[in-house]
């Protein structure tokens, strides 16, 4: 797009692409391809530098901050020429490697260009401040543009997905991943905003507004689902003040004409441990603090709570307020969202009551009975509140907690519990209530978003956490890493398929490797029979299994037999780990303590049964499908296939497989979010952090695959035009030769590695780096040519000047000669005489001339007088004629008025009447001649 075309983006234009002038200036920076390099740096990973000297394989480089370092030749990386400055698609970089990608992102980020492509990926760096790049004019600016036609943007990705959907009649998906705080959710919201704007049904009046159904049109409803989900599913973490603690896949369905039809949301892996535990710098789910902001005192009364979070240990282990979040405002938004989303009054009360009950759960106190292991309630006030909120009997609840009934054979016996066990059970119960409440809300939202409008295709947006490598990695990390491993495999395979298609289309013979297979080993180790998940699930069936027995089984099965499964290398200060997995993003040490318990996620069945019978309808509904050991035989067998007895990992795998098959039925688009620094400073980039993410999120992996093939490609026409200069003689002027032939001739005539390129049907393909070499050769060639042109033109100009100068020199001689001659003769008597006579000669001549002129003048004067007289005469005549004519006209008029006998007229005009005279009056003479009009216009009759 030219500068003028960029104006459609309004104030956002400079954040999307720099002006032509600035780009040209940047591309003409002085550059020496032979010495400009990136060098490794212990602190910053890579810095820019300049080669000072080379000695064998060791090179001495002066870095940008003037340090001199000596490194091995293999460790330095060449810089890309300035032609590639702040490139919009990094796959086109001729030198494709880690520092090139890093610095390209960094330089763009420094001027707030946060979106950059890397082949199939759209990479975005969190700006930590609001840029105008999401304004309405930007939305309309991207509408209908192809990816190559506009600067990189999430809207461009969205629009291509939309166009592909309409054109190919295929479902689409946009996969947004990244670390916590990298901007996944912000970008997801932008995608939804985009579709809500461009595909809005618009006319909401047509839609019937059913009572109990949501208010507003579908686009509003889709956007409204967010505040509610965020209140219950988002929390402050170290990295992100508003971190979504669940993955989501939002599908937006479109009708046949491409208008919004409906939407649904699928959620993954809500982090429920947060309900009862937070790190010091973190906070539990927003909803708790929103309610406690006391913006709606009636809620405080309803939930029987105070406004002091410290009264509730479950939610007050970390921070309680977040600077960037206004809990009072958010409470209003959540409350409004509940209404707009069509929850009825009873459901709404249920939501708040259960939220309150979860908080109270942490306050129930149990003490140990004297001389017994058994727990007993320490006061009943809290239990009364919980029971009241949940609609059950307080004594029953306490009894169920302290003396749960378990089935032994065919009989029920009560089992004693220690206070610790009771506390664990209440924690598990409150987490389960919270999770089920959340999932139920999602289901309800889906029901509301489900319109009866016909749907044709969908675009799904996946907002899910990226690869996690923490100090201590547990089952949750393995689940999320496994998900990412699968998503990466999906990407690799997709890219492989696309590349293969392109090569096939272009007729390039090349042995292609399916890079999806690279990840297969790790995926299989986790999910295949006898893999980690299956061993874990098997162990969960054994009542006697422990973490130790689980570990032993894993070791027996895999250690030493599978290179992906390793024993962690112990080192000081590192958290305890039990096994390591080699993921594509790096090797991760996992700690398997508590996996069995986490995976079984047992609930106190006796309490669950109370829930199922609770008078709070919502609660009984939440647990309706949960089958307990106590349910009677017939009911149980029916329910067993349902959600019960399903371990966490099995449920996760089921969901993940559903997601993957969903994704495989779509055409995917990939967005990678990058968190630039941990301190939320806008504009600054921490090299180490960013490189780590680029490795984990597959951007560098994508580039690695790229480099194996022929990543640079140019249409023959373009190639010929740009590089003909390298050897113009190869393509003779004047005779027709098609671009492909020309390119072939040209490439074979120049001195490059001929294995580095291939000829397709329409394009020529290059290995990474060759194009940079050609560019360099072209620059050299251009330099030679320019010098030659310069030399020739300078020579020409100088020769012109020389000619001029020699002419001047000759003139000087002539002048000199004349002056000398004059000097010689000026005192000669004859000459003097001549000087005297000369002026007279001239005046005699002038007199004669005067005489001639006088004669001519008098002749002309005479002639003029004659012709003037003649003109006057004629004019007079003319006036007379006019007068005559007007008189005649008046006469006729008079005759008419006198009027002849009627019969005479009825038979037609009397014979002999001159009809022309009765016509319109003659035109004044002025119209035809230049004779001054002397007849007054008034005298002319009007018809």
Ligand X SMILES: Nc1ncnc2c1ncn2[C@@H]1O[C@H](COP(=O)(O)OP(=O)(O)O)[C@@H](O)[C@H]1O
Q: Which does 672 bind (CB under 5 to 8 A by kind): ligand X, Mg ion, none?
A: none
Q: At its nearest, how many Å lie between ligand X and the CB of residue 492?
A: 23
Q: Per rule CB under 5 A, is residue 185 in the interface with Mg ion?
A: yes
Q: At its nearest, how many Å lie between ligand X and the CB of residue 776?
A: 37
Q: Is 760 annotated as a binding residue?
A: no
Question: Which alpha helices (DSSP H) does 152-285 contain, by range?
Answer: 154-168, 184-198, 218-233
DSSP labels, 75-125: G-EEPPPGGGTT-SBGGG-SS-SHHHHHHHHHHHHHTT--EEEETTEEEEE
Total site size for Mg ion, rule CB under 5 A:
3
Rg (C-alpha) for the chain, rounded Å, is 46
Inter-residue contact 350 to 338 (CB < 8 Å) = no
Identity of the residue, 130 or 736, whose beta carbon is nearer to ligand X in the bound complex:
130
Torsions phi, psi for 59 (to 5 deg): -120, 140
Q: Per rule CB under 5 A, is residue 697 in the interface with Mg ion?
A: no
Q: At its nearest, how many Å lie between ligand X and the CB of residue 242?
A: 5
687-696 and 699-708 helices, crossing angle to 10°: 60
Q: Is 638 annotated as a binding residue?
A: no
Sign of torsion over alpha carbons 569, 574, 580, 585: negative
Q: At its nearest, how many Å lie between Mg ion and the CB of residue 16?
A: 24
Identity of the residue, 134 or 611, whose beta carbon is nearer to ligand X in the bound complex:
134
Q: At its nearest, how many Å lie between ligand X and the CB of residue 126?
A: 4
Partners of 673 in the β-ladder? 124, 178
Q: Which does 80 bind (CB under 5 to 8 A by kind): ligand X, Mg ion, none?
A: none
Identity of the residue, 398 or 675, whose beta carbon is nearer to ligand X in the bound complex:
675
Token digits for 67? 């340090």
Q: Is 185 annotated as a binding residue?
A: yes
Inter-residue contact 564 to 525 (CB < 8 Å) = yes
| Host H or E run for residue 673 | strand 666-674
Assign 743 to helix, strand or coil.
Answer: helix
Identity of the residue, 228 or 581, whose beta carbon is nearer to ligand X in the bound complex:
228
CA 283 – CA 650 distance, rounded (Å)? 29
Q: Among the candidate windows 181-189, 341-349, 512-520, 696-704, which touches Mg ion by CB under 5 A?
A: 181-189
Identity of the residue, 540 or 699, whose beta carbon is nearer to ligand X in the bound complex:
699
Going by C-alpha positions, the residue among 777, 775, 782 that lies closest to residue 87 is 775
CA 491 – CA 664 distance, rounded (Å)? 10
Assign 46 to helix, strand or coil.
Answer: strand
C-beta nearest to ligand X: residue: 183
Q: At its nearest, how many Å lie between ligand X and the CB of residue 324?
A: 7
Q: Is 180 annotated as a binding residue?
A: yes
Going by C-alpha positions, the residue among 499, 734, 538, 763 that lies closest to residue 649 is 538
Q: Per rule CB under 5 A, is residue 187 in the interface with Mg ion?
A: no
Q: Is 178 annotated as a binding residue?
A: yes
Q: Which residues bind ligand X (CB under 6 A)?
A: 126-128, 130, 178, 180-186, 240, 242-244, 673
- Residue from 94, 237, 244, 591 binding Mg ion (CB under 5 A): 244
CA 804 – CA 816 distance, rounded (Å)? 18
Residues assigned a catalytic role = 180-181, 185, 240, 243-244, 466, 468
Q: Which does 178 bind (CB under 5 to 8 A by kind): ligand X, Mg ion, none?
A: ligand X
CA 796 – CA 553 distance, rounded (Å)? 89
How many residues appear in the chain? Answer: 943
Q: At its nearest, how many Å lie between Mg ion and the CB of residue 463?
A: 6
Q: Is 181 annotated as a binding residue?
A: yes
605-612 and 394-402 helices, crossing angle to 10°: 160
CA 826 – CA 382 distance, rounded (Å)? 138
Torsions phi, psi for 152 (to 5 deg): -60, 140
CA 401 – CA 418 distance, rounded (Å)? 10
Which residue numbers belong to the known binding site?
178-185
Q: Which residues bind Mg ion (CB under 5 A)?
A: 184-185, 244
Which residue numbers belong to the known binding site for ATP?
178-185
């Amino acid at each position: 797009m030219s500068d003028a075309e960029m104006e459609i983006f309004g104030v956002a234009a400079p954040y999307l692409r720099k002006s032509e002038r600035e780009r040209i200036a940047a591309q003409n920076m002085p550059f020496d391809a032979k010495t400009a390099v990136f060098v490794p740096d212990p602190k910053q990973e890579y810095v820019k530098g300049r080669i000072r000297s080379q000695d064998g394989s060791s090179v001495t480089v002066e870095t940008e901050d003037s340090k001199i370092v000596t490194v091995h030749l293999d460790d330095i990386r060449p810089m890309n020429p300035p032609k590639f400055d702040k490139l919009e698609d990094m796959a086109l970089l001729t030198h494709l490697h880690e520092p090139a990608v890093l610095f390209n992102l960094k330089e763009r980020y420094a001027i707030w260009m946060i979106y950059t492509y890397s082949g199939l990926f759209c990479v975005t760096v969190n700006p930590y401040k609001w840029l105008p790049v999401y304004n309405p004019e930007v939305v309309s600016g991207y509408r209908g543009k192809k990816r190559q036609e506009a600067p990189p943007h999430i809207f461009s990705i969205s629009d291509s997905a939309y166009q592909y959907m309409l054109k190919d009649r295929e479902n689409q998906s946009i996969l947004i991943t990244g670390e916590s705080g990298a901007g996944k959710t912000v970008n997801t919201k932008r995608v939804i905003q985009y579709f809500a704007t461009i595909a809005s049904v618009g006319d909401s009046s047509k839609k019937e507004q059913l009572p109990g159904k949501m208010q507003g049109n579908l686009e509003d409803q889709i956007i409204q689902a967010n505040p509610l989900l965020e209140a219950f599913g988002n929390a402050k973490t170290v990295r992100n003040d508003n971190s979504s603690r669940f993955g989501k896949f939002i599908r937006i369905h479109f009708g046949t004409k491409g208008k919004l039809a409906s939407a649904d949301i699928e959620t993954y892996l809500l982090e429920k441990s947060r309900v009862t535990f937070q790190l010091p710098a973190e906070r539990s789910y927003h909803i708790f603090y929103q309610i406690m902001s006391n913006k709606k005192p009636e809620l405080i009364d309803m939930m029987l709570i105070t406004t002091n979070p410290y009264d509730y240990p479950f939610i007050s282990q970390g921070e309680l307020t977040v600077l960037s979040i206004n809990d009072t405002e958010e409470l209003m938004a959540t409350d409004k969202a509940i209404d707009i989303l069509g929850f009825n009054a009873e459901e709404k009360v249920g939501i708040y009551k259960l939220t309150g009950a979860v908080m109270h759960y942490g306050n129930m106190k149990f003490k140990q009975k004297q001389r017994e292991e058994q727990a007993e309630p320490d006061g009943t006030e809290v239990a009364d509140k919980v029971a009241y909120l949940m609609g059950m009997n307080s004594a029953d609840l306490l009894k169920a907690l302290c003396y749960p009934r378990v089935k032994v054979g065919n009989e029920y016996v009560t089992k004693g519990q220690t206070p610790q066990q009771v506390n664990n059970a209440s924690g598990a119960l409150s987490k389960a209530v919270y999770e089920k409440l959340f999932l139920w809300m999602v289901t309800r939202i889906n029901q509301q978003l489900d319109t009866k409008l016909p749907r044709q295709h969908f675009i799904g947006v996946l907002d899910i956490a990226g690869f996690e490598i923490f100090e201590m990695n547990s089952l949750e990390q393995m689940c999320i890493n496994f998900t990412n491993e699968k998503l990466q495999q999906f990407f690799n395979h997709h890219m492989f398929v696309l590349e293969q298609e392109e090569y096939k289309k272009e007729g390039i013979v090349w042995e292609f490797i399916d890079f999806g297979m690279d990840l297969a080993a790790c995926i299989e180790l986790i999910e295949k029979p006898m893999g980690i998940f299956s061993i874990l699930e098997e162990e969960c069936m054994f009542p006697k299994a422990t973490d130790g027995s689980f570990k032993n089984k894993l070791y027996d099965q895999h250690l030493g037999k599978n290179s992906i499964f390793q024993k962690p290398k112990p080192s000081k200060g590192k958290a305890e780990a039990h096994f390591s997995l080699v993921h594509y993003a790096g090797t991760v040490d996992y700690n398997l303590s508590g996996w069995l318990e986490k995976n079984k996620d047992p609930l106190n069945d006796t309490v669950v049964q109370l829930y199922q019978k609770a008078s709070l309808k919502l609660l009984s509904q939440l647990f309706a499908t949960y089958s307990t050991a106590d349910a009677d035989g017939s009911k149980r067998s029916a329910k067993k296939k349902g959600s019960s007895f399903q371990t966490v990992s099995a449920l996760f795998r089921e969901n993940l497989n559903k997601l993957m098959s969903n994704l495989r039925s779509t055409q995917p688009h990939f967005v990678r979010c990058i968190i630039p620094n941990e301190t939320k400073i806008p504009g600054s980039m921490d090299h180490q952090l960013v490189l780590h993410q680029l490795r984990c999120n597959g951007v560098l992996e994508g580039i690695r695959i790229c480099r194996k093939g022929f990543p640079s490609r140019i249409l023959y026409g373009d190639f010929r035009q740009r590089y003909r200069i390298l050897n113009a003689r190869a393509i003779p002027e004047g005779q027709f030769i098609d671009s492909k032939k020309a390119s072939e001739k040209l490439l074979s005539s120049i001195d490059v590695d001929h294995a580095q390129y291939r000829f397709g049907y329409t394009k020529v393909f290059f290995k990474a780096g060759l194009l940079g070499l050609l560019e360099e050769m072209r620059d050299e060639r251009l330099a030679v040519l320019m010098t030659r042109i310069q030399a020739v033109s300078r020579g020409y100009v100088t020769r012109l000047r020389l000619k001029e100068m020699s002419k001047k020199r000759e003139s000087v001689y002539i002048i000199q000669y004349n002056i000398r001659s004059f000097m010689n003769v000026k005192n000669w008597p004859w000459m003097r005489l001549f000087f005297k006579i000369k002026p007279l000669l001239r005046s005699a001549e002038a007199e004669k001339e005067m005489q001639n002129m006088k004669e001519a003048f008098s002749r002309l004067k005479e002639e003029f007088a004659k012709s003037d007289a003649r003109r006057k005469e004629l004019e007079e005549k003319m006036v007379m004629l006019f007068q005559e004519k007007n008189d005649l006209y008046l006469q006729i008029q008079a005759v008419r008025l006198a009027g002849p006998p009627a019969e005479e007229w009825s038979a037609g005009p009397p014979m002999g009447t001159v009809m022309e005279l009765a016509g319109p009056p003659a035109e004044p003479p002025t119209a035809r001649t230049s004779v001054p009009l002397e007849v007054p216009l008034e005298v002319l009759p009007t018809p």
